[in-house]
Structures are given as structure tokens and as C-alpha cells.
Amino acid sequence: MALTLLFSLGELSYGLEIDAIQEIVEDQVLHYVPGACGVLTGAINFHGRVLPVIDLPALLGFPEAKRSARWLVLSPAQNSLVLTVSEVKRIVALDLSTLQRPPASLAGKAVRGVIEHDSQQINLFDTLAICAQLEDLQP
């Protein structure tokens, strides 16, 4: 069993293992970054480090909608990014041995696999895919 934070992007439910998250922050001062692309909403001072804040729903092509005031700070092993999401939900224990391949309809949505939990499909988030998409962005 892996402790996993559930969150949503648009209407889809996602999960990210707790060890990939350093902290969940709220009410941070967002600093403007001149010349930044649309998905880079700014930067925050996180315990003395400047971290980029990425609008994850916009990066993955989800329609404009509200964003949660709570942001996910990925651990240094996950490139120390801050991600905005539609909603931060709760932490659950998932049996990753039942992880299945994502359907083709989720291509480009940073899903490394899907898992059923409480009669709901949870898309397991792929941080490597996000980093690759960010690297491919043109200024």
C-alpha cells in the first residue's frame, strides 16, 4: 500500500504518492516572472528557495476553471516545482500492484497508470512527464 494524495484536475481525479510531495502550501505570495510562458504563473519563496509555480491544469490542456488555494510543492527529487491544481482532496492508501495502463484518451495528461479506489478511477500522476512537457515549452 502506498500513501497517495488525491487531487483533481478539471473533472479528473489524480493521485500522487506522498513521498513525491515535500509540502502543501497555502496563501503564498506569488511573484511575477517577466517573460514567463502562460503555464508559469510566477514564483514563490519557499523556505529561502525560489521555486516556479506551474499551472498544471493549463499545462495539461484542461479548460479554465478555479484553482485551489492549496499548492503542491514537489520534493527536490521531483525537481522542486510548485503545482497548482483544481482541488486538493485527501490522502488514501492505494494498492499499486493493481495499477493498470492508462487508456488512450488520457494521452498527454501526465498519467502513468490508473487504479480503482472506492468505485472511482484515480489517475496516478507522472511527474517525469510534466518535467518533459516543461522542457519542451518554447519561450
Tens digit of each residue's pLDDT (9 = 90 or more) over 21-62: 999 999 899 999 988 878 999 999 999 999 999 999 999 988
> Which has the minimum average pLDDT: 41-50, 89-98, 110-119, 125-134?
125-134
Residue in 32, 37, 15, 21 with CA at minimum distance from that of residue 95: 15
Tell me the residue type at 7.
F
Dig out the grid coordinates for 107 from the structure: 494521452
Which run of H or E residues covers position 116? Answer: strand 111-117
Q: Which CATH class is domain 2-136?
A: mainly beta
Integer angstrom CA distances of residue 55 from 8, 71, 87, 114, 120 = 13, 10, 12, 22, 25
